[in-house]
A and B are shown apart, each in its own frame.
Chain A
């Protein structure tokens, strides 16, 4: 089976840096996604990691360690609009399994 764990909620201050962790135990692994989802909307793609290491894309970075079954999403210079749910998803056998998501609240 697939087991993906993320913290349920996190709170951070505008302008700060926040790291959202994701651990996984899956029967197969082809890559790991991070998505952002605002309430009532569909997810939007943030990043995709296949190999170990850090992928940087503007204010957002994603890290993967396949040997540890671990990833994190790093958000810098937080803005109020970053308040959303962040979903970690593992790709295997041509499909993706999603974690329960981390609700991030950015406060002024």
Chain B
């Protein structure tokens, strides 16, 4: 149980275009989802916390107008990278938590974005 999927698993896009990444909890309801970014040989950096039905909370330094997050249902959150640039190329990972009191996060397999 507790499976999280991401789609696509990898994507290549041209500079200036937008890319949408989906994160789904397949067998549980996720009241909270987290979006992370990981550059090569670096650790995960939390970008934002997404709660179902409310606006995402962004970490300091993360542009909310560039990284649009929508958590429309208890099983789906999306991250849209708008006007992508080569420096946005990274590994984007989502995770989901079942409830406020739950401590365990279940990670998706990640999406590798390459902006050319």
Same complex for A and B? Answer: yes
Q: Which residues of A contact B (CB under 8 A)?
A: 30-31, 40-45, 48, 50, 87, 89, 91, 94-101
B42 cross-chain contacts in A, Cβ below 8 A: 100
B105 cross-chain contacts in A, Cβ below 8 A: 45, 96
Q: Contact at A101–B49, with CB atoms within 8 Å?
A: no
Q: How large is the interface on B (under 10, 10 to 19, 20 to 34, 35 or more residues)?
A: 20 to 34
**How long is the Cα–Cα vector from A42 to B46 in the complex, in angstroms?**
14
A99 cross-chain contacts in B, Cβ below 8 A: 43
Q: B49: which of A31, A48, A95 is its contact (CB, 8 Å)?
A: A95
- Knowing A31-B103, A42-B107, A48-B104, say if A95 contacts B44 (CB, 8 Å): no
Q: Contact at B110–A41, with CB atoms within 8 Å?
A: yes
* 6 closest Cβ pairs, A-B complex: A42-B107, A100-B43, A98-B43, A98-B44, A42-B110, A101-B43
